[in-house]
Copies of this chain bind each other. A is one copy, B any other.
Amino acid sequence: MGTISHHLSLSILCSVDKNARKPNKQKLHCVKINGTKSSNNVQLLSQDNNNNHVIAISPCVDENVSVFEQQNRQNIPTKKQLIDPYRQGIVIEDGVGYRQTVVVRSYEVGPDKTTTIESILNLLQETALNHVWMSGLLSDGFGATHGMMKNNLIWVVSRMQVQVDHYPIWGEVIEIDTWVGASGKNGMRRDWQLRSQATGLVFARATSTWVMMNEKTRRLSKIPDEVRAEIAPWFIKKQAIKDEIPEKIHKLDSNATYVHSDLKPKRSDLDMNHHVNNVKYVGWMLETIPDEFMEKHQLSDMILEYRRECGSSDVVQSLCEPQQYEGLLKTGIDQQYNNKHNHIGLNGNSFSSEILERKGLLGCLNIGPFSFTHLLHVKGELKNEEIVRGKTLWKKKINSAPFHS
């Protein structure tokens, strides 16, 4: 019975719309797709003046949506675009950067009406992909270029840092800029800046490092010349966050103060790459932090070091350790950060005094910054496999942050 129900024979009627708001409309008058699922082969026919012309033959049909239909509905540009009216995106930075205006939606904020860190990370991912979209380089994959697709390469993030000074609130109009640059010989750096659209005040900055992985062998790859030729013209040297000597994030073990075990990905946690989305990692990391701390503090800086992808069948453990204050003092970076961002630090009411005493932190109330070290790993029979190490810095929530003088 499977053969018949999978047999495809359909017509798609596409009227050509000359409306200026639809600049990327494909110039197809009428297409007809003929094929069978079993033959793995679909013809795209253009029906013009009552004649059929074979335009292309596709090697595969997606389980749910056919390749041609998907292309038609997604409308991915094949040439560089300067403006995207639907996404409210424009090209900036002399033609190589991307800016998108977005309104903070009702489901992107928490009970306090400020954007959640997960929503900010989602918007960073979205604008990065829309940047590639505008470039005309986007293939069918999750941000991969045509050259990458040809070489079976996918992007893998190896490091990410996000600094949030002020959280946007429900209904606020924000602008997100993003651009890319070189990172060593075989990496790419992607940066973002998130601002108030009304005042230009910078709300957040982020930087990330990406490398290429062979989708089949799962091994890291050099950037092929073909791909370098695609992406290198987009590289600029601008940095959203200045380079600092990266502090080593030490590896936690099962003695960590907070441990959440048996975390299992749900269907809805998987992204288009069929892996647990990075944003979910952050959710798992932050869940271990006690509610009473979260209520009084807001995340101001987060560094993530990715080690391994998490698949849908992995069972994850999330470890979290409040950082010793002595440790913070020793690292010049933290002290520097503290001075620059005017952290207010730990409030006596906001954290269990028992924990503080155990960690030798009782004496450092209101000094801060306060930080946590994080680890997500997959518990294995022989050894545990690290997914991501993280460090988070926090400041006390205050009234009216962005407009305080």
Contacts and interface: CB of A to CB of B under 8 A. Distances in A.
Interface in A54-70: 61-66, 69-70
Q: How large is the interface on A (under 10, 10 to 19, 20 to 34, 35 or more residues)?
A: 35 or more
Interface stretch (A106-114, A183-191, A321-329): A106-114
A132 to B, nearest CB: 11
Nearest to A118: B268
A403 B112 contact: no
Given A105-B126, A270-B111, A73 B172 contact: yes
A172 to B, nearest CB: 5
B272 A109 contact: yes
Contacts of A5: 344, 398
A47 interface: no
A399 B42 CA distance: 12
Interface string A139-158: 00010000000000000000
Contact of A87 (B103, B168, B279): B103
A63 to B, nearest CB: 7
A87 B191 CA distance: 25
Interface in A92-132: 101, 103, 105-107, 109-114, 116, 118, 122, 125-126, 129
Interface stretch (A7-15, A221-229, A238-246, A380-388): A7-15
Contact of A111 (B76, B103, B271): B271
A282 to B, nearest CB: 10
A177 to B, nearest CB: 17
Given A64-B113, A65-B400, A111-B272, 19 more contacts: A6-B399, A37-B399, A63-B399, A65-B169, A65-B399, A69-B400, A73-B171, A73-B196, A73-B402, A86-B88, A86-B173, A105-B122, A106-B129, A107-B126, A107-B277, A107-B279, A111-B267, A133-B171, A266-B283
